[in-house]
Amino acid sequence: MEKIKVGVVGATGYAGAEICRLIYLHPAAELAAISSVSFEGMALSDVYPAYRGLCDLVCGTQAEVVEKSDVIFAALPHGLSQDLAAECDAQGKAFIDLGADFRLESEEAYKEWYGGTFADKALHEKAVYGLPELFRGQIKKTKLVANPGCYTTAVPLALVPALEQGYIEQAGIIANCASGVTGAGRKPAQNNHYPELNEGMSAYKVASHRHTPEIEQTLSKVAGAPVRITFVPHLLPVNRGILATCYARLKDGVTEPMLRAAYEARYGDEPFVRLLPAGKSADIHNIKYTNFCDVSIFVDKRTNTFIAISAIDNMVKGAAGQAIQNMNILFGLDETTGLLQVPPAF
């Protein structure tokens, strides 16, 4: 069987480089071409020496990536994917966007949170939001996937079963999240400078993070009614991982066994969602370098509060791994192909 030819635009950013790392291990795909505006003409292994002898492809142009590839991953800053998506669509090629250009269904919301507009509304209507645990049926029917962000994967996966069953109130949901510094991207900034970040922890973009409308869009679809959340992200002094601790008011009569049964039924057949035993709490240590999402659930009977905690690797299930999971779906492969990696034990 001929391997899927993979192209990565923006291969030298963290998400792009992670796609290259994971594709190297994929038995049904091969890296055909990569591009980078900042490092054009340089080998990826010169940018990331860890890849030496394994991924020595030279960064070419965006046009070369489209020409040589069956599927194009765009790991670009927000606002730069729409023209590339149109080009891939015109050529009948699969396109998976790791940016936010196709995630929001409302152009008004996109304008409010990202300051942009939909260049081609018809193209946006073709896009499918690529959270496989919720939308795999729709993903199978498209060639344009809007790959979710990191927080926007962790928070919904923590809450979906409870919302689907109507076990929690739709109002008053709080998502208190913490992310490793790779979520900020490769470009240096003062808040991710080592002396500023090390031995510290701080909230940022409180009640104003761009992932807010994306999370609300997903939760509203699940609930069948508008959902608004309070979302507070924090920056952790670690490279990888997101821990999402979500709080919601329980509806009358809902018990912990009912909640556990709902989560077991919803995620029992999901290859990448691991529901932890009662009393165990999700930990970013246990999902590093993998596409797993660990979920733990608790009930505070004193305050009638439901607490759902999820842990993902923001660079894998929160970016590159989920993008490859979507590629597997598009090409009719088992979703786990190339992605079942054992996390390090220590």
Spatial contact of 275 and 236, defined as CB atoms under 8 Å apart:
no
Q: Count CB atoms within 10 A of the CB of residue 146.
A: 27
Spatial contact of 62 and 84, defined as CB atoms under 8 Å apart:
yes
Retrieve residue 315's tokens. Answer: 């660079």
Active site residues: 150
| Helix axis angle, 256-267 to 151-164, nearest 10° | 120
3-state secondary structure of 12: coil
Angle at 186 between CA 184 and CA 187, to 5 degrees: 90
Distance from the Cα of residue 94 to its chain's centroid = 18
DSSP collapsed to 3 states, 242-288? EEEEEEEEECCCCCHHHHHHHHHHHHCCCCCEEECCCCCCCCHHHCC
